A and B are shown apart, each in its own frame.
Chain A
């Protein structure tokens, strides 16, 4: 192998940089901060399962948006048969009253800036940044 020393040294530097976050938190003794959204205290169950809502709430909201705006349909029947009004403002934010403590926490954590809040407002009429 030509330039063995250079290649191995380069690989070592690359590996060190790639794994730096692990070394950093190991050295600090604690894990990096979590997103930690605050769940509503009044309700135990969301529209669909926790797993589905976590992974696909944006797809659900897109379906709701199209159904309401384009087809004029307002009622959603969840998998367990419960009926919900398809409304970000009334249904979602009805339970998740604190947008800043729920939506914004995760969105800010993952660096996501959904444009929902360019037009939609939270229950108090606060104009969301994230």
Chain B
């Protein structure tokens, strides 16, 4: 009897070990993900954008960057402000820079509409509150969204002090009035979306769509995109040469959209 038990335990042990070894082999039946970056991909230590407010305000009604962004990313056009979805939009100066607004500020300026977008904060509150890590900060500083993982809890919308996140209260596809671009996914009902600094364009070696079109329409230097850690980059030089402010810096989110004033 003892001998039988001994033999059984040996055989069972070998079987378990064998199955344990076979499982990874079976998994490895497919190929591997290459660690290299795509050819021509733009990389940075820390991406940032500088917006020249003076130049931008010269054409207050201009929507070139907004339209370019929203068409490129299949962003639905919804009129209802409660349900609207936006990646890039304009907000009155007095709301954008509330702490820089005072009773003696030029009335014209207070109501002028400033371009706003996700600040891709260094200390992003949205990332901190996301329960599924559907939003996270990449190595290059981009605060990215993974729609596959978003459960639509909207904590991030509450966490973001800039209103940069929109929720899809309904299927957005019927509201993409410019025609759906097949090369970029739409979103689905129940997920949050926002600006991604055009990661899909950076891979191809292109700057964000808003920056590209803005510099064509309003002249170079209206929007500057680049690696802020590289002192020779355009964005680092623009910040060195001029005076810049950020939205709600007192909150400690360390926004990386700089407004040159």
Contact = CB atoms under 8 A, between A and B. Distances in A.
Q: Is chain B found bound to chain A in the same assembly? A: yes
Interface of A: 47-48, 52, 56, 59-60, 63, 65, 67, 69-79, 83, 85-86, 89, 115, 118-125, 127
Given A119-B187, A119-B188, A73 B33 contact: yes
B179 to A, nearest CB: 8
A65 B33 contact: no
Contacts of B183: 89
Nearest to B182: A125
B33 A63 contact: yes
A127 B185 contact: no
Contacts of A52: 29-30
Contacts of A83: 34
Interface stretch (B35-43, B64-72, B91-99, B212-220): B35-43
Contact of B30 (A56, A118, A120): A56
Nearest to B202: A72
B180 A121 contact: yes
A73 B34 contact: yes
Contacts of B147: 119
Smallest CB-CB A-B distances: 9 pairs: A125-B182, A118-B188, A75-B34, A119-B185, A78-B31, A74-B38, A67-B33, A121-B182, A120-B185
Contacts of A65: 148
A47 to B, nearest CB: 8
Interface in B156-209: 173, 179-183, 185-188, 199, 203
A121 B176 CA distance: 13
B32 interface: yes
Contacts of A70: 136, 146
B30 A48 contact: yes
A103 B219 CA distance: 46
29 contacts: A48-B29, A48-B30, A52-B29, A52-B30, A56-B29, A56-B30, A67-B33, A69-B146, A69-B148, A70-B146, A72-B138, A73-B33, A74-B41, A75-B33, A75-B36, A76-B31, A76-B32, A77-B31, A79-B29, A83-B34, A118-B188, A119-B186, A120-B185, A121-B182, A121-B185, A123-B182, A125-B180, A125-B182, A127-B180
